[in-house]
Amino acid sequence: MKAVRVHAPGGPEALRFEDVPEPQPQPGEAVVRVEAAGVNFIDVYNRTGLYKTAMPVTLGQEGAGTVVAVAPDVRDLAAGDRVAWFHALGAYAEKAVVPATRLVRLPDHLSAKQGAAAMLQGMTAHYLATSTHPLAPGETCLVHAGAGGVGLLLTQIAKRRGARVFTTVSTEEKARRSKAAGADATIDYTKQDFEAEVKRLTDGKGVRVVYDSVGKTTFEKSLACLAPRGLLALFGQSSGPVPPFDAQVLSQRGSLYLTRPTLAHYTATREELLSRAGDVLGWVADGSLKLTIEHEFPLSEAAAAHRALEGRRTTGKVLLIP
């Protein structure tokens, strides 16, 4: 079968579309025929070596498809079940071996593409808005990369909770998409100082929480956008890692809070995984959470998908289709 592998850290050219042995389930595992794989910045971090991963490795931590085989000790799954997952490497392939405890059944009327588009980004948006800082009605937040996959979903969930949402974007088209998702105001960071705009929009008070997936280039101004005792949730680093800083800055700027959360810690138990996935997939199923899937690449063109993602030429979800 075919898979996309990385043998040594590097750029998109490090992605190799090659033959690999057919997978066999070990105890506690299932083999899934992949029908759609999500492309996320964590895949870029794995490819470049920013996140240390044993190599060679088949990339991809999010996918959906149909179970084709299970280990004898797996009791609650069977061949033919339609499932989705995240946080298990190997989705950039025609078939993937996934721990059974990471698999979530798809509702009957959701497609594999919808499942792959909703799992990682949808549950990331879910934990940020409901757990990292449970947004309350009337609170104001800033969402960076507002037209990205997480940004569009996070905006919708924040509005669902009654929050006021500002987003940063880089083009008029991305601003349009962000507003369609519910953003109360969009800030074009290529033309405007987002810190100054946030202060203007809040009469100088700042926002209660900043959700920042960008990292290095936004970090200082994100802190400056916060109201006293506000929270910066730094959940990504698409522009690079934040350099070391003096924690005393948090005190000087108003007893601020800083957290670097990751989805794995917010789905650490099977119960929490099923609860978050149930909310997200249920909202997608009833139409109250809108997915944006506009970028689909053949599995063999994974490098092109990475270039598009890193070049900020995408909105919404990027999928690979085996």
Q: Is there a single domain that holds both residue 10 and residue 116?
A: yes
Least confident of 19-23, 161-165, 213-217, 225-229: 213-217
User: Looking at per-residue confidence, does 18 or 237 come out higher?
Assistant: 18
Neighbour order of strands in the sheet with 2-6: 15-19, 2-6, 57-58
For the residues 187-198, what does the mean pLDDT come to?
95
Q: Which of 306, 274, 311 is nearest to 4 (CA)?
A: 306
Instruction: Find the mean pLDDT for residues 83-109.
Output: 95
Mean pLDDT of the chain: 95
Q: Could you tell me which of 158, 135, 114, 155 has the C-alpha nearest to residue 281?
A: 114
Question: Do residues 252 and 83 touch, judged by C-beta distance below 8 A?
Answer: no
Please tell me whether residues 28 and 111 are part of one structural domain.
yes
pLDDT in tens, 194-220: 999 999 999 999 999 999 999 899 999
Number of domains in the chain: 2
User: What pLDDT score was predicted for residue 41?
Assistant: 87
pLDDT at 312 over 80: no
Report how far Cα 138 is from the mean position of its chain's Cα atoms: 25
| Two structure tokens written together for 265 | 């810690």
Q: What is the pLDDT of residue 16?
A: 97
pLDDT band of 158, cuts 50, 70, 90: very high
Q: Is 184 helix (H, G, I), strand (E, B) or coil?
A: coil
Based on the fold, state whether residues 142 and 255 are members of the same structural domain. Answer: yes
**Residue 126 placed within a domain:** no
Residue 316 pLDDT exceeds 80: no
- The answer on 249 and 273 residing in a single domain is no
Put residue 240 in one of left, alpha, beta given phi > 0 → left and psi -120 to 50 → alpha. left
252-268 average pLDDT score: 95
Say yes or no: 192 and 148 in one domain.
yes
Whether 22 and 105 share a structural domain = yes
In a domain, 128, yes or no: no
Q: Are 49 and 161 part of one and the same domain?
A: no
Does 224 share its domain with 156?
yes
Final residue in a domain of this structure, among 209, 230, 260: 260
What is the percent of the chain where pLDDT is above 90?
A: 88
pLDDT in tens, 142-155: 999 999 889 999 99
Kindly state whether residues 274 and 256 are assigned to the same domain: no
pTM for the model stands at 0.90
Calculate mean pLDDT across residues 28-32.
98
Which domain, by its residues, includes 159? 136-260
**Same domain (yes/no): 56, 13:** yes
Span 36-53, average pLDDT? 93
Same domain, 6 and 55: yes
